[in-house]
Amino acid sequence: MKILTTFAAMVVGGAIAAGSLYGLISSQTAAPDKSPVNVNAPQFDYGSNN
């Protein structure tokens, strides 16, 4: 039972890591219209003091 739990935790952790890595890579290599960053006009939005 302990081996099965360890294996299941490894599978779940690996899936989370793979999903995170895929999201990071796809967001960095997306087309310009889907990318949240504009190199020519960077925006730093730290909130407002209203």
The whole-number pLDDT of residue 23 equals: 87
1-15 pLDDT, tens digit each: 899 999 999 999 999
Greater confidence (49 vs 21) lies with 21
Give dist(CA 10, CA 47) in Å, integer: 38
Judge whether 36 and 27 are in contact, CB under 8 Å.
yes
**pTM (2 d.p.):** 0.56
14-46 pLDDT, tens digit each: 999 999 999 888 877 767 666 666 667 666 667
DSSP state of 34: T
Tell me the three state secondary structure of residue 47. Answer: coil
